């Protein structure tokens, strides 16, 4: 089985962004099932969708994740053009 791990966090902004909601991924998973051959096994996994930002960071620290290599659109000194006008990053 192929697993696709997606980072998408819900939280207070989820109402304005459909892809922040678990329901979005449930429907997307169903689309994969219906739109591929029966022997195709693809699972979308969203392990942090219900976690708060501080919980995600804490889990990353516990796991020894290289957090220094991560990037956030909230870091204004590194804004990319594609994110500069995004409502969640502006």
pTM reported for the whole predicted model: 0.62
- Residue 90 forms part of a structural domain: no
- Residue 89 forms part of a structural domain: no
Q: How many domains is the chain built from?
A: 1
Distances (CA, A) of 87 to 37, 47, 74, 90: 37, 24, 11, 5
pLDDT tens track for 34-71: 999 989 889 988 888 888 888 888 999 999 999 888 87
60 secondary structure, DSSP code: H
- Residue 68 forms part of a structural domain: yes
**Other CB atoms closer than 10 Å to residue 22's CB: what's the count?**
13
- Residue 58 forms part of a structural domain: yes
Per the structure, the complete domain to which residue 76 belongs is given by 2-84
- Residue 48 forms part of a structural domain: yes
- Greatest mean pLDDT among 8-12, 37-41, 50-54, 79-83 lies in 37-41
Name which of 64, 46, 43 is nearest 7 in CA terms.
46
């Amino acid at each position: 089985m192929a697993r696709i791990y997606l980072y998408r966090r819900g939280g207070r902004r989820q109402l304005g962004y459909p892809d922040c909601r678990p329901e979005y991924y449930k429907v997307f998973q169903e689309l994969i099932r219906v739109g591929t051959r029966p022997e195709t096994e693809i699972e979308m996994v969203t392990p942090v969708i219900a976690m708060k930002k501080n919980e995600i960071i804490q889990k990353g620290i516990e796991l020894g994740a290289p957090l220094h290599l991560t990037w956030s659109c909230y870091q204004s000194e590194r804004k990319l053009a594609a994110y500069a006008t995004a409502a969640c990053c502006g």
